[in-house]
Structure 1
Amino acid sequence: MHQIKSNIYSKYTFFILLCLCTVVSCKKENAAIEVPVDAYFKAVDKITETMIHDIFSPPVASRIYMYPNVAAYEIMAQNNKKYSSLSTKIKSLESIPEAPKDVNLKVAALVAYIDVSKELIFKDNIVTTYADSLFTSWKKTNATEFTASKTYGLKVANRIKDWLHKDNYKETRSFAGYEVTTDNPGRWQPTPPAYMDGIEPHWNKIRTMVLDSAAQFKPKRHPEFSMEPNSAFYKELQEVYTVTNKIRKNGDTTEEVAIARFWDCNPYVSTSKGHLMIATKKITPGAHWMGITKIACKQQKLDFTAAVHANTITSIGIFDAFISCWDEKYRSNLIRPETLINNTIDKEWTPLLQTPPFPEYTSGHSVVSGASATILTHLFGDNFSFTDDTELPFGLPSRKFTSFNTAANEAAISRLYGGIHYRAAIDNGVVQGQNVGKHIINNLKLTN
């Protein structure tokens, strides 16, 4: 009799334990999916990694950063008391479909971010590998929630993809390239060592996001081209030659050399080895400022939505800044210092940095840095000290800054130290970028 009771008790205990295990297992499988902000940062990093691999031009790279961020932001801003939609504030963007109640907005936002990103790049294996790792983890945590969120995220992504394909990018792929002529001595000519054609001569035809037009913040005109020794233009040319020669005389360990290299951000650097031309892959100016945005977000410990907001506003500013700058570049068509110095002063002279393949005025890095610093100062405040370690993967040490504007000014003057821009392109470029940044801030009042 005792043995029978013992067996019954054992079976009953086993049954209870089995039920408890089942309940715990069900709870674990149906737990809400947690999406840390680092998952978003890593997605941005994967896009950067892909763009470096595929060697996208600076203007095109700005487009690749911007559209995925808009998709993610629009999802996170839904029914949010602090953030409002972009749909009435940037051109032609319609409201996205409302999210069903069973959707995890963070999951949907990352799904949309990744899917839109893949639409804009050539080889998506880096992004796809990361996405697969996320999706597998999320599905294991809560398959029902993941499926609903993914379905919604893809629905929003399709809406954003329809919108982005109407920005005139595809049409400009078939437009005529830059025409090289020699009838104007001040007109831009391709530069060594690769003598590449002018990059994106029709970028001013791309749809802006917030600017009324590409020419809205047309900068003050550069000094009139003249090779007269007393002319303002010739003095700027002579400054480039004098400054770079002095830097070279002082050696490679000077602060000016460190600044020039840190802010180089030229994805088109090429080196001749025998009969081969080998590209050295680097980030673009926009990528550098997206990296600074990430540093600021992490330093302030922003949550997922706030981080997406900061990255979205900054990427919109960078996108419109490139359109504004490229509009002026191919209006001015100004010759680079390297060409003039080699032809008229010193045929053996070379700049510290390799000259990028597009006209000189205004400085792209100056414009983008001015816009980015203005926006980031608005978001995080002035006198925001940070350590910029964006260039560490490229073998360059980090640099410390007391504010975003300090960093922007250093990025701008790096173009003189590098020998690739005249003074006017630098100074007027920063102002041009600041005007773009202020316009973005005044028109994208997204926080309530």
Structure 2
Amino acid sequence: MRVGIMVIFCWLLACTVFLSCQDKKATPPEDYELAASWADITNYITQNTPANSPTFASRCFGYIGLTMYEAIVHGYPDYQSVAGQLNGLGKLQEPEQGLEYNWHLALNAAQAEIIRNIYIQTSANNKRKIDSLEQHYANIYSAAILNDSIAERSVSYGKKIALQIFEWSKTDGGHRGYLSNFDKKLVFEEKPGCWQPPLYAQSFSHYPLHPHWGKNRTFLSNDSSLVPPESLPYDTTPGSAYYEQFRQVYEKRKILSQDEKEAALWWGDDPDVSFTPPGHSYHLATIAVRKTRPDLIHCAETYARVGMAVADAFRNCWKWKYQFYTERSNTFIPRYIDARWESFWPDPPFPSFPSGHAMQAGATAAVLTDLYGDKFAFTDSAHVGRAKDELRNTAFNPRHFNSFWEAAEETAMSRFYGGIHIPLENERGLEKGKEIGMNVNQLKWKK
């Protein structure tokens, strides 16, 4: 499995730390590095757990990010728990009054516990990596405070928060969703313009991925009742609005620049070889955290917001995908425009409208812009080091952006370049993703 150089670097760094820092006198890292290290291993587990999918992964990021925040929020007087503001979670256990806690140890224990449980199907070797990272930081912080009672109390509290959130997760409709990626008994209505299994596919299946995912519980109650995006009526007449959307895809394929090809590959995030599209959003959060080096609660809030935003974006996107159940370019264009046409990038196995890439990217951009500003320049090196795609004669080169919205817009456009989505699907996806991200921003994070 190919791994981006950033992921490799972070993982090798962690492994080096494991080997060199068994000495309990090691200096505790800065706050941001503790949080970012757990984000790194979250993406590593996401990428290296078989039968994963963007839908299931998005859900995992939601619970893992929320756990990071809730495990430490009571240690920061200006902040408050958001548990009671979420969809059916209710109040979580609070720390005992008058007793001291180490919030680094609480976060460390909570992250290990939620990842082990939410990714229960991952390999024994991956679970050992989680255990190793947990033990490494436990040694460092326990040695730094020199108080076994505080250490044990903090670890216990972090684990209790993780297990409470995990128990809540089991009732959302997506628990162990990797066991039912495809419903082979479900029969869909055949209608003009409906989704068809493509011949040129990312992972070929006669059945679409997670057709029931849109029934799952959202993290935010408001996100369960969003107004669906507006689609276009089916019309194969040349010159009609519907036809012209596909004609744009067809014409673009002829004139793709090398940079556009690179963008199409960069944001593809095939779950068979990467940390999935929501994992890429979690990675952007890590870029922001490592660049700005905020305190621990700001880091945790970042991952909680991004995680829940991408989770609700995918849930709603899948609800609407099966509501509209629309075709992709690889079925429309060969039938009505050019029988020999083939997209630059293969189709994923699910309906088209709206774009999942665009929705989760819009949700992420809304959240990260609110946290880090609208002029946050950064370079994304997530896939640097992956072997060149010889079939498409395209390499994985780093992408530079002047804002999170610029990255989100390229994420959406990458699906147009790849021939995966018509422009309207990307536009509607960005709009609805932004709405979801704004809902997350409007939670009362501070007192």
Question: C-alpha displacement at 1:97, in angstroms?
Answer: 2.2
CA distance in 2, matches of 1:116, 1:133: 14
Question: C-alpha displacement at 1:119, in angstroms?
Answer: 1.2
CA gap of 1:348–1:96, structure 2 versus 1, over 3 A, is: same
Pairwise CA RMSD: 2.5
Which residue in the other structure is 2:79 paired with? Answer: 83
Which residue in the other structure is 1:331 paired with? Answer: 323
CA distance in 1, matches of 2:238, 2:267: 31
The aligned amino acid for 2:246 is L
**Which of 212, 228, 236 is the equivalent residue of 2:222?**
212
Which residue in the other structure is 1:59 paired with? Answer: 55
Question: C-alpha displacement at 1:136, in angstroms?
Answer: 5.1
CA gap of 1:71–1:133, structure 2 versus 1, over 3 A, is: closer
Cα deviation per residue 1:34-90 (whole Å; 9 max; x = unaligned)? 674323212221121122122421111011111122122112111522211012211
| 1:181-200 superposed matches below 5 A | 183-191=190-198, 192-193=200-201, 194-196=203-205, 197-200=207-210
Q: Which SS does the other structure have where 1:78 is aligned? A: helix
CA distance in 2, matches of 1:300, 1:137: 22
| 1:27-106 superposed matches below 5 A | 36-54=31-49, 55-100=51-96, 101-106=99-104
Stretch of structure 1 that moved more, 122-131 or 42-51: 122-131
CA distance in 1, matches of 2:403, 2:24: 46
Q: Which SS does the other structure have where 2:379 is aligned? A: strand
Q: Is the radius of gyration larger for structure 1 or structure 2?
A: 1
Which residue in the other structure is 1:425 paired with? Answer: 425
- Kindly indicate whether the alpha-carbon contact (under 8 Å) linking 1:112 and 1:156 is maintained by their aligned counterparts in 2: yes
Question: C-alpha displacement at 1:416, in angstroms?
Answer: 0.8
Q: Which SS does the other structure have where 1:46 is aligned? A: helix
Question: C-alpha displacement at 1:29, in angstroms?
Answer: 7.3
In structure 1, stretches of 5+ residues that fail to align are 1-27, 268-279
CA gap of 1:416–1:166, structure 2 versus 1, over 3 A, is: same
Which residue in the other structure is 1:274 paired with? Answer: none
- Kindly indicate whether the alpha-carbon contact (under 8 Å) linking 1:198 and 1:359 is maintained by their aligned counterparts in 2: yes
**Which of 243, 246, 258 is the equivalent residue of 2:255?**
246
CA distance in 2, matches of 1:152, 1:210: 25
Cα deviation per residue 1:200-221 (whole Å; 9 max; x = unaligned)? 111111111114353414112x
Name the count of aligned residue pairs: 402
Which residue in the other structure is 2:291 paired with? Answer: 299
Question: C-alpha displacement at 1:316, in angstroms?
Answer: 0.9
In structure 2, stretches of 5+ residues that fail to align are 1-22, 388-395
Which residue in the other structure is 1:386 paired with? Answer: 378
- Kindly indicate whether the alpha-carbon contact (under 8 Å) linking 1:47 and 1:127 is maintained by their aligned counterparts in 2: no
Which residue in the other structure is 1:156 paired with? Answer: 161
Which residue in the other structure is 1:271 paired with? Answer: none
Higher relative contact order (CA 8 A, sep 6+): 2
Question: C-alpha displacement at 1:92, in angstroms?
Answer: 1.7
Which residue in the other structure is 1:447 paired with? Answer: 446
Q: Structure 2 length normalisation: TM-score? A: 0.83
The aligned amino acid for 1:112 is A
Which residue in the other structure is 2:357 paired with? Answer: 365
CA gap of 1:29–1:180, structure 2 versus 1, over 3 A, is: closer
Which residue in the other structure is 2:15 paired with? Answer: none
CA distance in 1, matches of 2:266, 2:434: 22
Question: C-alpha displacement at 1:187, in angstroms?
Answer: 0.7
Identical-pair percentage: 27
CA gap of 1:434–1:133, structure 2 versus 1, over 3 A, is: closer
Q: Which SS does the other structure have where 1:56 is aligned? A: coil
CA gap of 1:369–1:162, structure 2 versus 1, over 3 A, is: same
